[in-house]
Structure 1
Amino acid sequence: MTEADTGSGADAEADAAHEGGAHGSGAHPAAVARKRALRRALLAARARLVEDDVRRTAGALVRHALDLPELAGARTVAAYVSVGREPDTRALLEELRERGARVLLPVLLPDDDLDWAAYEGAESLSPARRGLLEPAGRRLGPDAVAGADAVLLPGLAVDRRGMRLGRGGGSYDRVLARVEDSGSRPALVVLLHAGELLDEVPAEPHDRPVHAAVTPEGVHRFPAPRG
């Protein structure tokens, strides 16, 4: 069962899609259960959002995100195309591209790992499995993310320590592990709706904190991630 089953209709499936399939057998059962319950609540809250809510959030997120020095000075940004009721990233992708940044977008592989390709504008995006939109250009390989100066990560929530709650599939856990193993140190940033910055989210040993979360209220910074 995927996290698509925790909500209703296409929006729930889209909100689940970025993280791929299920975690492996090394997961901690208690933390996994707590994460699953919190995901259900957060996905339900997102399902109640209307299009006007998402549009208003998008404008504020773009303004705050573009003020981040880590994005303003980035030559390469690994990002993603928002789907469902995720905070809308499309205007931000265009702004980054117009500023001269090279924007990389993920391509979901059959094993739920992520390849990457350059973003060449909205017209270059093609429908893909699980309701995603993916770049149609040349595939650069999973290791391409290690060359990014900043990585925008999808997430359902971030806590005051910078711990991110993903959708449970582990695709971005693999991305973050790959970045860490490469020795690169990109800025890790999550875009959130109002109310998704929490005091604490359940965490497991493999979970990695992020540098910042951007909400409609502004930028929230955290202690530097380990490693």
Structure 2
Amino acid sequence: MKISKLIGLTVAVVVMTALGYGLAAWFLDSPAEQAKGATQLEQTLAQLSTDVSANGEYAVGDRLSGGSSSSESKKALEFDPAFPELQWDNLMPADWDPMAAFRGLNIAELQDNDPRAQEALDTMRKAWNDAPVNPEYTGKKVRIPGFAIPIEQSEKGVDELLLVPYFGACIHTPPPPANQIIHVKLSEPQPAVGAMQAYWVWGELTATKFSSEELGDAAYLLTATGIQPYED
């Protein structure tokens, strides 16, 4: 992938993280021609909507609704109340700015052969890999929905996975900040965990670093008590 396009994808992910999914989804769902006269960021986001793929059920950038909506309320009651639902946004400290690494960056000026493009990408990746945790939730029992990326498996199935907040993270787009990736260790191997399948996972959350050159860095570890497929 070209460096300029990769930076554009990274900016799109930042918008999802910093501004909330609603605004970013509007951009990602808008066709490129609607971005005429818009800002460079809007044009980048609109262009991405023509490049990303969907699996038929979820499109790149889609998030799960969690158990707070009326359609999920009955399902939420089935979970052990000892594991309250955790929102992904709460994993970021309130005073941390995920956009800080982008200050002064003009994507339109960066060409693929410009060494500043790779330098900018490296700076952003380092800042996100070092993203701080929210200590309020470390050591707590939590339940959270997300998309799975298997990383370790035995003959019996998947032993470890990364959980990410939106479809396509770490696969179709650059990795999110480390505080938006959870390394999950399962109590029992799961025989059929596919990439980007949606799950509820619950257990104890700790601030433990995990690094993967291919998939990105996770700032949290969830020692899982249970896992089950997410259903709308």
Give TM-score scaled by structure 1 length. Answer: 0.32
More strand by share: 2
Larger radius of gyration: 2
Give TM-score scaled by structure 2 length. Answer: 0.31
Higher relative contact order (CA 8 A, sep 6+): 1
